[in-house]
Amino acid sequence: MQTDLAPGFPANPLGIPESTGRRARVALTRLRPVLARHARERIVAGRLDAELWPAFERRLERHFPDLYGHLLALYAGRDDIAHHTERLLLVALDSWLARPAELQRRDADREGTFWYTDHTLVAGVCYVDRFAGDLRGLAERIPYLRQLGIGLLHLMPLFAVPPGQNDGGYAVSDYRQVRPDLGTVDDLRALATALHDAGIALALDFVFNHTASDHRWARELRAAPAGAVDDEDQNPYLMFPDRTVPDAYDGTLREIFPETRSGSFSFDAELGRWVWTTFNSYQWDLDYTNPGVFVRMAGEMLALANMGADVLRLDAVAFTWKRIGTGSESLPQAHDLVRAYNALVRIAAPAMVFLSEAIVHPDEVVSYIDPAECPLSYNPLQMALGWEALATRNTSLLRQSLSHRLALPPGCAWLNYVRSHDDIGWTFDDGDAGLVGINGFDHRAFLNRFYTGRFDGSFARGLPFQENPKTGDARVTGTTASLAGLEKALTEEGPAEVDLAIGRILALYGVAFALPGMPLIYLGDELATRNDHGYRADPDRAGDSRWANRPAMAWDRLPLTQQAGTPEARVNEGLARLTLLRRHPAFAGPATTVLDPGDDAVFAFVRRTGDDAVLVLANWTERPVALPAQVVTAALAVPQVTDLLGGDDWSSDAGTITLAPYQQRWLTTRSIVRD
């Protein structure tokens, strides 16, 4: 929070230095009686626990200065900030008073802790319908999730959406209604309770850059008198009467979905306005320069918290604030926006934390990661460069990039993943690429060709997504198994290629599990699930190749995990072993040193916590590799070690340490793994 002289404040005739901290204290002094009276009335009327107000007041006292400081950074020039701040705190208070008792107990247990940094946590992600049919069906699969070792379950968007196209659920029509085919809000609350009872935290999406064009707010705007579109109290969206301002913006904005349309604005004939639509014409961007929008969305956010969410994934966080002459991504105000919401959550639902979804330049990714902003973040660099190293059979860019981009502030953690519901974008830094002799533009073009099977010798069977003919940019979609070569090996090749494909799958997941952070399994990957090409037969999905990597869970193939030698069994067993061995005490802390093993085929790093250390050696190629013994002895300072993955011992007397194609070794002097 800013504590120096605030330039937006008039000079103080008493000579008292003005700062956001002082203004926050003054504001809270005025607001506290209003809030206390409101709390007493609600507690008496609802026969609630009288201690609810003191608990809220204690956290309000602690976190309001941060909240108010960020609100001032966003809205200091407005004359209605006091009005909106009061409304905001009343929303937070009502949410706290309505918060289920079991979640309030969770708040008390977790407040001030970094529970999400526990190194034994493994995350899973799925679409409810694709995984289990509906919410009740998913509840029945909790034993399966526990068997996999899942400790955090992210459910892809499950709230009401428009009929037809809805961007995979990211066009939300109602944040407080579950899609009817998935169940009800009561079903979601019951699932959250069941997950918590099983020791599994719940992650939900907070889609807060935009709503669906049929959201209640949009419908009310269409039904209102003509002047409502220009009234910020009635119109929460970014709209323009003609192309003058949109054209000024479009000159510096990148196109997110160029296959769908050109530009970032769509004309709504009914309202006679150009609407800001960053992603699709049916997703209307919200206007956060209006503090009333901040208050509206705060209510939706806290409603998700009270449904049982432990983690909120902040969708499209980089796009929330716009300014002419910029790319309107990752502007300073976007950070103030998230930090203000974070402070509000610390007051009204402190058990919940934010997960940043900022798939942007690595420097921008890390800018969102902080306990006061988003303590959890996807690790898109680790994801993209794992695939890059497989394609090139060279780990130099992976090593160069992660050697200085892994460290995070205390109390924060990466979410390491191999693939997602979305696409793969090659978001590495061109400066890092240049240091290892790679031209970034040309290399991205190569990777797109390689993973869409357009490069001779490619093992991948991915699909292109949103190719931009003007820039040559594109992304890639596909399941882990199909991108790693298993689809091609099973349909076009033979057992040797199947072995290599399984090696690639486990190489990617092995590094995701061994690096600092929480590993994430896209559910279905544990069954080596291949692309679902049937999406092309669905008119609402045919134009979106991402549906190829969102296949329905193949429960009929689950018995194959018990048949030795099948791809399903080998991948399933490999992931189970990674989940178990990750409990080794060396992985408890974040300390990681990336090494140069002297052979670019191998990615090497040391994880260390206290006296415990694990040296990870990962062969990223289909050829065997022999490294000199000094690689091990220099890293661990001992002549004899045990390979956690292989179970065998190694001595420096051997002179070299060998790695089979795509083999990983997790070498340590202490093979004890906590149950």
CA atoms within 13 A on the CB side of 492: 12
Which residue, 13, 310, 353, is CA-closest to 154? 310
| First-residue to last-residue Cα distance in the chain | 42
User: Cα separation of 552 and 524, whole Å?
Assistant: 8
Give residue 666's Cα distance to chain centre: 27
CA atoms within 13 A on the CB side of 585: 9
Using the Cα atoms of residue 663, residue 666, residue 671 and residue 675 in order, give the sign of their dihedral: negative
Q: How many CB atoms lie within 10 A of CB 118?
A: 13
Amino acid identity of 643? D
User: Cα separation of 323 and 248, whole Å?
Assistant: 10
- Residue partners of 559: CB distance under 8 A and separation at least 6: none
Give residue 434's Cα distance to chain centre: 28
Helix (H) or strand (E) holding 125, with range, is strand 123-126
User: Cα separation of 334 and 278, whole Å?
Assistant: 15
User: Cα separation of 479 and 419, whole Å?
Assistant: 7
Provide the annotated active-site residues: 315, 357
Structural tokens at position 247: 């054209």
Give residue 445's Cα distance to chain centre: 26
| Nearest-5° Cα angle at 577, 573 to 578 | 120
Structural tokens at position 303: 């409603």
Which residue, 585, 573, 590, is CA-closest to 666? 585
Amino acid identity of 600? D
Assign 3-class secondary structure to 322-363. Answer: CCCCCCCCCCHHHHHHHHHHHHHHHHHCCCCEEEECCCCCHH
User: Cα separation of 571 and 662, whole Å?
Assistant: 14
User: Cα separation of 431 and 436, whole Å?
Assistant: 9
DSSP 8-state symbol, 117: G
DSSP 8-state symbol, 11: P
CA Rg value for the chain: 26
Antiparallel, parallel or unpaired: β 664-668 and 311-315: unpaired
Amino acid identity of 136? R
Antiparallel, parallel or unpaired: β 376-378 and 353-356: parallel
User: Cα separation of 491 and 649, whole Å?
Assistant: 38
User: Cα separation of 52 and 99, whole Å?
Assistant: 10
Q: How many CB atoms lie within 10 A of CB 260?
A: 16
